[in-house]
Amino acid sequence: MTESLNKSKNQVKKQGYRLYAQYVLIGAALGAYYGIFYKNPERAVDFSPVILLSLVSALVITVIQIWKKGYPTKEKLIIFLKSFGMFFLFLAMLEARPLFEQWGGKGLVTAFTTLMGALVGFILGLKKKPVATSTTETKK
């Protein structure tokens, strides 16, 4: 019995690490894509749309998540702030690409977007909880 519990805990732990790695790699791949195929739009960098879009997106996500669930106000605020942070991080990364191109060229843009994509993937992976599989049952 104890052996099956230990085995089950080990599977959850292994699945958790794989899950985080999967999210990090997907985020890094998307970030690399945004860096490799980036073309400078020859316009000034403006973060005001980033803030506005992040606020609107976080508000919509928060309303969807709390709809008819009766969360306390503090929990609603936390959901909103986490959503805002994720949207802002992603959109700010996209808007900051011209700055990184000026500082270090295409290579720095690709490295920056890949790193930021991996960070976003890791944060999203933390939200996803690993689930234990029911394949380890004790046989009598």
- For every residue of the chain, DSSP letters joined together read -HHHHHHHHHHHHHHHHHHHHHHHHHHHHHHHHHHHT----SS----HHHHHHHHHHHHHHHHHHHTTT---HHHHHHHHHHHHHHHHHHHHHHHTHHHHHHHHHHHHHHHHHHHHHHHHHHHHHHHSPP---TT-----
Q: Give the end-to-end CA distance of the chain in Å, rounded to a whole number.
A: 10
| Model-wide pTM > 0.75 | no
Average pLDDT of the residues of the chain: 84
Residue 76, judged by CB atoms within 10 A of its CB (0-12, 13-18, 19+), counts as middle
pLDDT at 18: 76
pLDDT at residue 2 greater than cutoff 80:
no
Domain spans, the chain: 9-40+105-132, 46-95
pLDDT at residue 68 greater than cutoff 90:
no
